[in-house]
Structure 1
Amino acid sequence: MWSSFWRSRDRFSLDQLSYLTDQLAKIQVVTDDNKDFVIEALRSIAELMTYGDQHDSSYFEFFMEKQVMGEFVRILKISKIVSVPLQLLQTVSILVQNLRNEHAIYYLFSNQHINYLITYSFDFQNEELLSYYISFLRAISGKLNRNTVSLLVKIHGDEVVSFPLYVEAIRFAFNEENMVRTAVRAVTLNVYHVGDDSVNRYISSAPHTDYFSNLISFFRKQSMDLNKLVSHTLINPGPDSTSTIIVAIDEIEDNLYYFSDIVSAGIPDVGRLITDSILMVLIFPLLLPSLRISIDNVRNLT
């Protein structure tokens, strides 16, 4: 079956899309024998849907009719081979990023398939998989507005009670990889700039408020680590000391810009959370005692 992958069909035809989805539907479990076909089929479907979005609306009509997003979820469930979820996340990311038709985006975000993928228990011990997952979250956040965000949250009454995209993203806010942390910041800023009052109340209510105090605590640790690094370098300079210090300073500077961007998003409660955390975590315990010591030293000199 797999040898006829491209045989007698135009690579960018609706016939090819139909063939790929039909063959995927026949797969009962992903094995070493069929994984290459599954991966290539997922990759090709992303290409075909991007092509169709630009040239022929019937591609997406077929995509909806055959419930291909549901098929993606099914494939994920029956696969234990890490390369398959890698490709699936990349495929959905490509779809989200490249589909320009608003109706198509609304469809992708509906039916809870996206939220299922967001909350799926991927093996994040695999660094490559984590990277693809974070890119997937970032792609989704790039399509957020007041209309699309309603498809990704659960509402009870007038209040948001669940927002998997945001909650899962901030889980990795303090990951050791700077690229992951940067992507998480992008996701959160996209959320903050949506301007939805119910979403704003959600992110500024417990337990999600812990994120902002943890941000300042993380910044404090970075600053103290930089201080130790500089002190150590003065005593034992090494060939890479300067570059290491510059990297540490750049990360601290990035965080300061991030704090500014959060406050600039114009969510009053979030702005207060940031400023209050700065006071409680940085100013009061660190700067004020330092000022007091300086004043005492001046008095002793006089």
Structure 2
Amino acid sequence: MSKPPRIGLLGAGPWAERTQAPALAAHPGLEFSGVWGRRPEAAAALAAAHDTTAHSGEAGIDALFAESDAIAFALPPDVQAPLAVRAAAAGCHLIMDKPVATTVEGARAVADAAAAANVASVVFCTLRFSPVTSAWIDDQVATGGWFTAHAQWLGSLYGPSAESSPFAASPWRREKGGLWDVGPHALSALIPLLGDVTEVTAVRGEPDLTHLVLRHNSGATSTAALSLSAPSKGARTGFVAHGEHGVVSLPEEWGDPIGSFTAAVDALLASVRSGLPHACDVRFGLRLTEILVEAEKQVAAAAAGK
């Protein structure tokens, strides 16, 4: 790109306000081309805060695509997926939130559209772009020799003593729970270390706790415990890998999400320049969706058999 790339933002909620918009506005190597929101007043407020253009309605989506080289998403998964298909068809590169979609069909449509349009893509799995955690994952991949790993993402967003959070009002998050909201975090670290998932076993506890046992193509197995409804004093995030070189734990500090999203933008721009796909692109996002859908099917089948 001879001129600074223009990146627009779809979404004007809490995540966009706290992470994507500040990162795009502060990035020295791009032009923040505009904000579209489902609520016109929210889009206008966010655009005004960052000295860019507000868009709303169907015409606003197409206008933002026309004014942008890339589109960042801060929308619920099954809202962002069809819009990403449209963005790719308009020639825009994609920075998507996780999960890409909550259906395999929705995620595959995005991957197919990106391939057909030959646009670059990145899925913003935070661990893969935070400087601290991404470096840790790279180090463990280089070390190798891991035979198991155990992930715990036990949030208290809906726990009995949870404090008020703007993210708790998200309908999709409440409906889909920890499996879909924090499951991508766990998988984004497990898969690089142990290989693609070849077998999934899922068990649901109340009210929102899902246990996964995974077999990987390396022959290793792993586990993950995922929830958004843990009691606040019982909430924790942890990731431990065991291997021939010892036991290692993921750093507890993930860093500033604005910095992590900036790194995701840089990764997208590097992929555009090189023509090489990023490891955490929409095809990886599709794979995450396939795994989570299989887990959800097993949970539903067990519930139906009671």
Question: Which structure dedicates a bigger proportion of its chain to strand?
Answer: 2
Q: TM-score, normalised by structure 1?
A: 0.25
Of Structure 1 and Structure 2, the greater helix share is in: 1
